Structure 1
Amino acid sequence: MPATMPDTTQIPNSFDMIIAGGDVIDGTGGPRRRADVGIIADRVAAVGDLSQAQAKERVDATGLAVAPGFIDVHTHDDRMVLTQPAVAPKSSQGVTTVVTGNCGVSLAPFVPGSRAGEANPPGPMALLGTWDDYKYPTLADYNEALEASPPAINVASLVGHSTLRAGVMDGFERPATKAEIDAMAKVLEQSLKDGAVGLSTGLAYPTAIHAPTDEIVELAACLKDFGALYTTHMRNEGPDLVPSVDETIEIADRSGAATVISHHKCVGRENWGKSHDSLAHIKAAQQRMKLDYDVYPYTATSTILLKDFLSTSEKTVLTSSATHPEMVGREFDSIVAEWGCSVDEAIDRLSPAGAVYFRMDEDEVRR
């Protein structure tokens, strides 16, 4: 998103701080330029030659880059912003805002105990923590926790579709009923009133893969009046990539919601090259609707440990395991070999677990 630059037609002659002599990369898409940045209170007031201006504090940025704070639009930081207020993995890299609740999972809104008897959160919900972390019945409750211990960065919250389903459905292997959709819509609308920036889905995951297009359309239709976004980890990013893009376009068209495709990619060697078609479909749809996408800058993906994802991966490395933490950092194939068991058995023994899957092509990423 381009940064909004200050009006420099009337440059003040006194600032609270001047960041001097850095290479300014301002987010407008133009080339970097050597300039000073003048700050008054908590706002950038001027960019240019401020060598003659006064400042309470002057920071020498010679040889350094000066840029607006980055917005990390695709995170699962719902818990980290609460438990690690410094949010060092992000703030240390210049990120000043994170969008949480992606891929259909968010810590809020979820009524504790509504899935009594289940040892662990289902599917991708385990990415965010244990049941003890799902303790915010409303987004307002979650926001109150943030305000009680403010993180060092800004937080924009999406509401996860799988989290909504988990709150009203007894199982995930079917479409939601009309009554269940109405119940989810009511919770979603309240969350939007409480400040949610949109709805996310993770249609590739077991918690949502059986949700039909109509279910998503009905929920996404709640968003337009709030100016909120629909973001999606699409149903398929491999052999059915293009049909999944088309489904996303249909949801955007029928619901009227501004839509973002999360981490658009082609996974699995046999599917490399399909971005030519998927990007063409996106470009055509953009002529008549608000449709965008974000991408990974690397050739690996990271999520929960899933058999379907293993089948398209050149190499898989374990990143977490509640039951066998000593295996973290190991390649999955080496664990299977050491244990002398089947892939299914290894997944069961390691889960809940996470993994990095190397399954993308560098040329696709750059395209």
Structure 2
Amino acid sequence: MPTCDLLFTHATLIDGTGAARRDGALAVSAGRIAAVGDCAGWQAARTIDAGGRALAPGFIDVHTHDDSALLADPAMAAKTSQGVTSVIAGNCGISIAPLVPRHGLPPPLMLLGEAADYRFPTVADYRRALEAAPPSVNVGLLVGHSTLRAGAMDDTARAATGAEIEAMAAALDQALRDGGLGLSTGLSYPASRAAPTAEVVALARVTARHPGALYTTHMRSERDQVVEAVGETLEIGREAAIPVVISHHKCIGRRNFGKTTVTLGLIDKALATQDVALDVYPYTASSTVLLPEFVGEAERIIVTSSQPHPEQARRDLSAIAADWGVSLEDAAARLGPATAIYFQMDEADLRRVLSHPRTMIGSDGIPGPYPHPRLWGSFPRVLGHYARELGLLTLEDAVRRMTSLPAAVFGLPGRGVLQAGYAADLVLFDPGRVIDRADYDQPCEPSAGIDAVYVNGLQVWGPEGASGAAAGQFLHH
């Protein structure tokens, strides 16, 4: 008679592939799925009667800035509470490694902390730190272009020289050998906006030499030049012969609302000859560093943190500017280094991107005491609001975008599907009740309907909250 550590019975199995849900059981042994479907006769150390609730692969958050939080807050309740079992860090060109700063931190590297937090000269050093004190979630790391520039250049406000590109290429090659999943860029940010396309192509070609590696990008523009930026992104993918992921695809500012009809058309055409995917968060407000050049298109801006003026957190930028008798741009400059939430996107564009079959879900949350609610609510919001309430997606397709699709795009074998032999990253949830509860006033509220979460067979979230189990592994090709 077969035995296992954990047996789920009477579950509604949503396997992550997009296939129709089915009733069944699932057995877990030694951190892996031992059997799926008919588990009659299995003996378990612990049996959980799912009572018809959904059992799915753990969600993969493909767009995070969790690099530092994984070490500072290893329980990662913001993620485990919404069913996330794996995170991809190092996005938007900003990775905590490989870098020990010599010339300060150019924007937006302060999103991950202060200069002292950048203490990992190699990805191998960061990986060892995670393996010495494992977080509750699995971790994959992209290598940030802005991080590479900060390490190789004394001034990032210009194009890199040939020698600097060679230094970045060497650091990137080693980082990928150490387990990095690919290269990320943030070409709209000060640390990298001066980089010409040729510089990025050169580094993307280095990345392409590593099997399974990919190129992800916060594009050069998500505003007036968003169509051209998509074109540049696709060109980089073609020139380097590398898969591309467009990060948090959006069109910022009222005059750009509706342009996703054009950008998604370009992507659909490109898909005939190259590998392209996208990610999105299910909100019409963004969040990033507060910079004067970013305030123009937003209809409202909430300051979420400010190093020189912490007392201004949670206030509207317009109110701060009025109190100080200055323009929004001058107030933003005075508050920096700072972060903010920008209300500046269109719901129709969001739904159009979310509906695209190559779109994955990424929270893009910035950990902190007053984050954007996407840090805590992205995945249940897709399941509850966009799938159940609006019917924009089926539940099975919504889960696919959170599981098997990201596992395939980022090259994470043995994850993202309910299949024997795969890692027991699992989420048990109530499809009729799951919903986000975090909002702009109370952004750190755990979602409803996520009943239990397991990472490599260990429970990391349940009715009592985060267990703190050191269950996570470093994900690499």
> Partner of 1:265: helix, strand, or coil?
coil
- Matched AA of 2:238: D
- Matched AA of 1:324: H
Structure 2: distance between partners of 1:343 and 1:31: 51
Q: Percent same amino acid among aligned pairs?
A: 52
Residue 35 of structure 1 and its aligned partner are, at CA, apart by 2.2
Residue 54 of structure 1 and its aligned partner are, at CA, apart by 2.3
> Partner of 1:23: helix, strand, or coil?
strand
Structure 2: distance between partners of 1:345 and 1:359: 20
Structure 2: distance between partners of 1:326 and 1:21: 51
> Partner of 2:48: helix, strand, or coil?
strand
- Matched AA of 2:304: T
Residue 318 of structure 1 and its aligned partner are, at CA, apart by 1.1
- Matched AA of 1:17: L
State the partner residue of 1:263. 248
Q: How does 1:208-357 map to 2 (within 5 A)?
A: 208-227=192-211, 228-357=213-342
Structure 2 unmatched ranges of 5 or more:
353-477
Q: Deviations over 1:124-156 (max 9, x none)?
A: 100000011011111111111111111111111
Structure 2: distance between partners of 1:135 and 1:345: 33
Residue 46 of structure 1 and its aligned partner are, at CA, apart by 2.0
Structure 2: distance between partners of 1:105 and 1:162: 6
- Matched AA of 1:265: K
Change (3 A) 1:105 1:264: same
> Partner of 1:141: helix, strand, or coil?
helix
Residue 306 of structure 1 and its aligned partner are, at CA, apart by 1.8
Structure 2: distance between partners of 1:310 and 1:316: 8
Structure 2: distance between partners of 1:108 and 1:224: 20
Q: Deviations over 1:264-323 (max 9, x none)?
A: 111111101111111111111111111111112111111100223211112111111112
Q: Does 1:84 align with 2:73?
A: yes
Q: Does 1:167 align with 2:187?
A: no
Structure 1: distance between partners of 2:27 and 2:189: 47
Q: Does 1:96 align with 2:85?
A: yes
Which deviates further from its counterpart, 32-41 or 316-325? 32-41
State the partner residue of 1:69. 58
Structure 2: distance between partners of 1:25 and 1:317: 38
Structure 1: distance between partners of 2:345 and 2:95: 26
Structure 1: distance between partners of 2:240 and 2:125: 28
Structure 2: distance between partners of 1:254 and 1:323: 43
Displacement over 6 Å in runs of 4+: none
Which deviates further from its counterpart, 311-320 or 126-135? 311-320
Q: Does 1:358 align with 2:343?
A: yes
Structure 1: distance between partners of 2:11 and 2:313: 41
- Matched AA of 1:351: G
Larger Rg: 1
Residue 81 of structure 1 and its aligned partner are, at CA, apart by 0.5
Q: Does 1:201 align with 2:207?
A: no
TM-score scaled by length of structure 2: 0.71
- Matched AA of 1:352: P
Residue 171 of structure 1 and its aligned partner are, at CA, apart by 1.3
Q: Deviations over 1:78-114 (max 9, x none)?
A: 00011111111111211111111100011110124x1
Structure 1: distance between partners of 2:27 and 2:44: 8
Structure 1: distance between partners of 2:257 and 2:177: 41
Structure 1: distance between partners of 2:49 and 2:278: 37
Which deviates further from its counterpart, 20-29 or 352-361? 20-29
State the partner residue of 1:4. none
Q: Does 1:15 align with 2:4?
A: yes
State the partner residue of 1:5. none
Residue 63 of structure 1 and its aligned partner are, at CA, apart by 4.7
Structure 2: distance between partners of 1:233 and 1:49: 44
Q: Deviations over 1:19-76 (max 9, x none)?
A: 1223222211123333221112211122224354322210122153211111110000
Residue 13 of structure 1 and its aligned partner are, at CA, apart by 4.2
Structure 1: distance between partners of 2:129 and 2:205: 29
Q: Does 1:28 align with 2:12?
A: no
Structure 1 unmatched ranges of 5 or more:
1-11
RMSD of the alignment, in Å? 1.4
Q: How does 1:99-118 map to 2 (within 5 A)?
A: 99-112=88-101, 114-115=102-103, 118=104
State the partner residue of 1:3. none
Q: How does 1:35-50 map to 2 (within 5 A)?
A: 35-50=24-39
